[in-house]
Chain A
Amino acid sequence: SAVLNVDLQTDAMLQVDISDALSERDKVKFTVHTKSTLPNFKQNEFSVVRQHEEFIWLHDSFVENEEYAGYIIPPAPPRPDFDASREKLQKLGEGEGSMTKEEFTKMKQELEAEYLAIFKKTVAMHEVFLCRVAAHPVLRKDLNFHVFLEYNQDLSVRGKNKKEKLEDFFKNVVKSADGVLVAGVKDVDDFFEHEKTFLLEYHNRVKDASAKSDRMIRSHKNAADDINRIASSLYTLGTQDSTDLCKFFLKVSELFEKTRKIEARIAADEDLKLADLLKYYLRESQAAKDLLYRRSRALVDYENANKALDKARAKNRDVLQAETSQQLCCHKFEKISESAKQELIDFKTRRVAAFRKNLVELAELELKHAKGNLQLLQGCLGILKGNT
């Protein structure tokens, strides 16, 4: 799902997607494919191979860039996590002796499907990040982004060493302490005051909804697994029974095999369209909060610069210096405020569109599955009743 971005002013097109991905022992290699008419690039179409750490590097470079303080930085994609899936596959391998060949094959297929689903998801999330950057009028021009897209070699961005990780940790601690500050001071600008209140509450509720939807989907998967086991047992009973019941058991076993697949599909769709949506907006709303925080910091700096200027004027010392400083702070604050306003409006637009698209698609899928399920149940019931 690539996003086509046409820059109307320069008539340059930039299209990014992940055309391929390879999962190796403990890393995933993404093939990032770019099509562009931008003059910066040597060719119009090219591909490079990137790993997760390089995406993080790119994201962090945006966050650390003062020029981008007034934008919502597209949230970084989460680290590919196959640990749980791998563990399950391993356990299955160990327990191979204790189950029938059929059971083993069936479970193996399911676990492989699960692995594939996780894999597809991580590809999608990395792709969404790149597309968001490519769609942003300013970020798409970023030099690091172009290097990321074009540079044919490894970017040599090793995982952060321990010291840097600690620094990050403290940075976050300070930010959240300041977060309290942000929350406390009432903004003069109604728009931002509203956004602040809104985002704080919204973020928390998305977090809650995300956690609850995960639990709900987990239960759904568990129930589907149970139905799978029930189907297997019924099958064995059917093959063993010498009475009339054998046909019954076999038919019902067949039914549950099918309904189980549908249940699993329902859980998977909920996962993709609801859980992932909520998780994504959890991250984006955090990015929006970060923007507000940066603006607040700039405001504080501006206010401090004002006070410093007053003091300087009163003492008639270093006035010019204070004036320059104050002007810089003012300019920075106003620049951030202006772009932040647009960013937040765009955020809402994107959010509404994404929710609408996903919820509608989810409802359609659920209805389709629900109808399918009903048909299967009624069909089987009809046959069984006819046979007694």
Chain B
Amino acid sequence: MADTARDAPPEQTDFHELEDGEELFPEPATTQESQPASLAAEDISTNSNGPKQDSLFDDDPEDLFAEATEEVSLDSPERDVLLSDGPSPAITPITPPTSVITPRIGHTHDDMFTHSSFDEIEEEEGGDSFDIHISVSDPEKVGDGMNAYMAYKVTTKTSMSLFKRSEFAVKRRFSDFLGLHSKLASKYLHIGYIVPPAPEKSIVGMTKVKVGKEDQSSNEFVEKRRSALERYLMRTVKHPILLKDPDVLQFLESSELPRAVSTQALSSAGLLRMVNKAADAVNKMTIKMNESDAWFEEKQQHFENLDVQLRKLHTSVESLVCHRKELSVNTAQFAKSAAMLGNSEDHTALSRALSQLAEVEEKIDQLHQDQANADFYLFSELLGDYVRLLTAVKGVFDHRMKTWQKWQDSQMLLQKKREAEAKLQFTNKPDKLQQAKDEIKELEGKVQQGERDFEQISKTIRKEVSRFEKERVKDFKTIIIKYLESLVQTQQQVNKNISYIFHYN
């Protein structure tokens, strides 16, 4: 190896000049700063592909998310009930053999839904305060080959009298969720209720799982879906009307559920739905409504703008997730390369320094990976959910227009019939005259109903939009804060690692 006689510069190389005993990374002063979550520590130690240096992470046992919930929520008695539930263990590994990833998300319970927004809504339904929590967990593959499917455990915890028990669980598959949504949509959308959309189908993703590929990407797919299903259910039950719907109750409570057949991706029902959607789109363009109420026009414009911006933001965040994952991979590769370089360097101190650099980079690459997951599960999925929700919102506005159209059509028809009747007055056809009078009576009823329907849907939409906007504000605030907290956490860990370069000797 290296002949030390040849090391011309004296061996006081290294980083002595830096290590004055002076702490380069000052101890965090306030409680806000010292919040490395126990979750993160747990995660890094199981996932780190670097040497285990547990001394690096002085774990603050304080749960980051609990503290966040406290600070974000508004003052309300219901809050205490929910918080006393406590944040449940964050990560539910996938049941089929090896859990390849355990993303550091902790969202299964400590997400945007751990506080109530209901107390603000003028609720005629007295009685229970809103206290219900749903989790989707334990994905399990049932069956084999192309007929296989994922079964998820849906657990409900509640104190509401609406339910027979306070804690219960059922097994559901993806098509069950779609079936639920389908029923709710057909019942409530056309009268103006914003029914939360179900998670999207993915033929590619699901096929990989069915075929039995137990790799990282199929595990990620299952986790993504599980999380989406959970958010879907929580959004649905947060709606005071939907919560009480018998289909929802049956979905949550009954152990056996008739298989929802019409939700198959390429079923005839599915095709029919697609055709109807297209027809609707065409109709929408041709309806010119006399908007007497500026509120609706303003709101529609608002949602239109919001939609455009959220889609744009969503795309950027997705890009960030992708690039951060790349950064993680590239950092890991660089770490290996730096280690190799350190090995071949024949100056001992420099060799050691390069190895240290390699070690630090290896830890940092794991942090990048974790952050990418947070980027995705917190930020990106929220945006995706809202892009889909806005479709539902725009849908109810469209239904209002259709309702208006129907009313107008009835009115026009009535008008025609009246004109016809007037003409008949001058002919000698008593039967026809009577028939016309009967038809007119019927139509008058229809017109009145049409007007009532229109007024009702308008009223419902106003309420729904108000509720939706409140939810939106809460959701975004909560998630943004959680996201920033994840960034703080990652940054703290990165800082720890960098400062280690100076102390390592």
Contacts and interface: CB of A to CB of B under 8 A. Distances in A.
A86 B498 CA distance: 35
Interface in B313-360: 313, 316-317, 319-320, 323-324, 326-327, 330-331, 333-334, 336-338, 340-341, 343-347, 349-350, 353-354, 357
B472 interface: yes
A219 B317 contact: no
Given A352-B350, A384-B480, A388-B477, A216 B327 contact: yes
Contact of B472 (A223, A240, A245, A371): A245
Contact of B71 (A208, A355, A366, A385): A385
A374 B481 CA distance: 15
A242 B341 contact: no
Interface stretch (B169-177, B262-270, B485-493): B485-493
Interface in B437-478: 469, 472-473, 476-477
B145 to A, nearest CB: 39
B422 interface: no
Given A208-B337, A227-B320, A240 B305 contact: yes
A268 interface: no
Residue among A191, A198, A255 with max Cβ neighbours from chain B (10 Å)? A198
Contacts of A377: 484, 487-488, 491
Contacts of A226: 316-317, 319-320, 323
A201 B18 CA distance: 31
Interface residues of A, number: 62
A202 interface: yes
Contact of A215 (B310, B324, B333, B343): B333
Interface string A244-273: 110010001001000000000000000000
A84 to B, nearest CB: 18
A245 B481 contact: no
Interface in B366-423: none
A132 interface: no
B313 A219 contact: no
Contacts of A191: 3
B327 A201 contact: no
B334 A374 contact: no
A209 B334 contact: yes
Contacts of B3: 191, 194
Nearest to B329: A219
B25 A237 contact: no
B492 A388 contact: no
A367 B477 CA distance: 30
B441 to A, nearest CB: 47
What does DSSP make chain A's interface, helix, strand, loop or mixed?
A: helix
Contacts of B343: 205
Residue among A243, A346, A370 with max Cβ neighbours from chain B (10 Å)? A370
A382 B33 CA distance: 10
Interface string A353-388: 101100110011011001101100110111011001
Interface stretch (A111-119, A228-236, A299-307, A322-330): A228-236
Contacts of A237: 306, 309-310, 313
A220 interface: yes
Contacts of A363: 498, 501-502
Given A216-B331, A223-B324, A385-B71, A209 B309 contact: no
Nearest to A217: B330
A212 interface: yes
B499 to A, nearest CB: 6
B316 to A, nearest CB: 4
B474 to A, nearest CB: 9
Contacts of B232: none
B330 A219 contact: yes
A371 B23 CA distance: 13
A349 interface: yes
Given A209-B340, A233-B312, A345-B8, 7 more contacts: A230-B316, A233-B309, A345-B6, A348-B347, A351-B347, A356-B350, A371-B495
Query: Closest 10 CB pairs between A and B?
Result: A219-B327, A226-B320, A233-B313, A212-B334, A229-B316, A216-B330, A222-B323, A209-B337, A212-B337, A223-B323
14 contacts: A201-B344, A202-B345, A208-B337, A208-B340, A208-B341, A222-B327, A243-B472, A245-B473, A248-B480, A348-B8, A353-B9, A370-B495, A385-B71, A388-B71
